Amino acid sequence: MVSTTEVAKHAGVSQTTVSRVLNRPEQVKKETYDKVMQALAELDYGNTNASNAEPAGSSKHLSVFFSKDCGADDFARLRELTESAQSSGYQLMGRVLTGNESSDDVTTLLEGVAGVIGIGSIPGEFQEAVNGKGIVFLQAEQAMDSKKPLDGRKAAYLATGHLAKKGHEQIAWVGEDLPDNGEKLQGYYEALAHHQLKLRKKRIHATQSTSDFDAIAADVRSFRKPTSAFVAASYEDGLKLFNSLKSAGFKVPKDISIVVAGEPEAGEGEAITAIKPPAAAQPLEHRLVERLVHQIEGRETEAYSTPEELQLDSGKTVKKFKGRQNNEA
């Protein structure tokens, strides 16, 4: 295997810089990063042959393979992946694939490895080789989209209960008219009953377009006892409601509180109070390693078919209601 010393000489940088590129790329200037990555590719860093192969690892050895087109953000994951593996009792090695690996190279690279994480455009032939050797393979980009099921009924129950405990009694429901929101709505009903709050059908709002949220915001004060809080069926619904209320002149949470039953999608930045799985708050690298280890140890079916315990992400959209409300609508 090519050493970091050789890479440093080839790139004209220090060995410390090479290590920093591999472990903390965000701390390296782009021109330096590109220079080192080019050297890594030219020297086939990460490849081995039978004559200089490292001793076979144990069943507690994991490898993460980066494609040659990976960027700085991808390589920055290595540190967290390594630490997560260690916390699970495994050792993890990071390597760069150039696409020029021979079958002998691949055999040596995979020797003693219990599981592999691929990041970037990993060649299909390499994946087939991993699978052919009975080694667990996890493609990071695909695993990112795989989530444990959300217990919607329980999430809505906890969201409604959180508002009730904050003194809210006129709690409305809002959500797209979708089949899978039925059990969430049931959780909303059950929480109202548990806290001895009256169910008012006119406070249940099914939405089909953005304009529906604007209409809901416009009608908030039309009730004799105005709605003081909303439970939204999803983070997206909560975000749309938040924007509509803001456009209508309301301040959240000063005027109205919002809790959503679900976690945000990537890029949704508003700090809306939410009931969501704990895994949603865990670093991606931790979830990748956790899933790989579960597959290696034969626990994936159990771990990924059972809904997780839910947690409250406090956010910034709930305020305690001052003074008890009359239960009449």
Give the CATH number of the domain where residue 110 resides: 3.40.50.2300
223 and 251 within one domain? yes
Shared domain for 97 and 117, answered yes or no, is yes
Per-residue model confidence (pLDDT) at position 284 = 81
Contact (CB, 8 A) for 36 and 43: no
Please say whether the beta carbons of 95 and 64 come within 8 A. yes
Q: Which two tokens stand for residue 45?
A: 């860093």
> Cα(224)–Cα(73) distance, rounded to whole angstroms?
53
Which of 258, 276, 294 delimits the end of a domain?
276
3-class DSSP state for residue 270? coil
* Residue 103 and residue 204 in one domain: no
Residue 196 lies in a domain: yes
Q: Specify whether 130 is located in the same domain as 176.
A: no
Residues 84 and 138: beta-carbon distance below 8 Å: no
**Structural domain includes residue 312:** no
> Within this chain, do residues 103 and 190 fall inside the same structural domain, yes or no?
no
Distances from the Cα of 225 to the Cαs of 170, 185, 198, 249, in angstroms? Answer: 7, 22, 12, 19
Residue 201 domain-assigned (yes or no): yes
Residues 6 or more apart in contact with residue 209 via CB below 8 angstroms = none
In a domain, 288, yes or no: no
Domain contains 205: yes
What range does the domain containing 114 cover? Answer: 61-145
The residue from 114, 145, 176 where one domain ends is 145
| Cross-strand partners of 139 | 118
Do residues 117 and 177 both lie within one domain?
no
Q: Does any domain span residue 225? A: yes
Q: Are residues 208 and 250 in the same domain?
A: yes
Residues 194 and 247 in one domain: yes
One domain for residues 119 and 209:
no
Residue 145 has which token pair? 């989209």
Q: Say how far apart CA 203 and CA 212 lie, in whole Å.
A: 14
Name the domain boundary from 276, 296, 323. Answer: 276
Decide if 257 contacts 318 (C-beta within 8 A).
yes
3-class secondary-structure state, position 45: coil
Burial (CB < 10 A; 0-12, 13-18, 19+), residue 161, is buried
Q: Which run of H or of E encompasses 142? A: helix 140-144
Burial class (CB in 10 A: 0-12, 13-18, 19+), 85: buried
The answer to the question of residue 104 being in a domain is yes
Both 207 and 244 in a single domain?
yes
pLDDT at position 232: 96
What is the tens place of the pLDDT at every residue in 43-98? 755 554 433 434 334 468 999 999 988 988 888 888 889 989 998 899 998 899 98
Q: Which two tokens stand for residue 300?
A: 């994936």
Asked if 22 and 53 touch (Cβ cutoff 8 Å), the reply is no
Calculate ∠ Cα 241-242-244, nearest 5°.
60
Structural domain includes residue 190: yes
For residue 260, the 8-state DSSP code is E
Mean pLDDT in order along the chain per 10 residues (329 residues): 74 82 71 78 55 47 92 86 90 89 90 94 91 92 69 92 95 81 88 94 91 94 91 94 95 95 67 79 81 82 54 85 54
Q: Could you give the number of structural domains in the chain? A: 3
> Do 135 and 200 share a domain, yes or no?
no
Contact 46, 93 (CB under 8 A): no
Residues 83 and 37 placed together within one structural domain of the fold: no
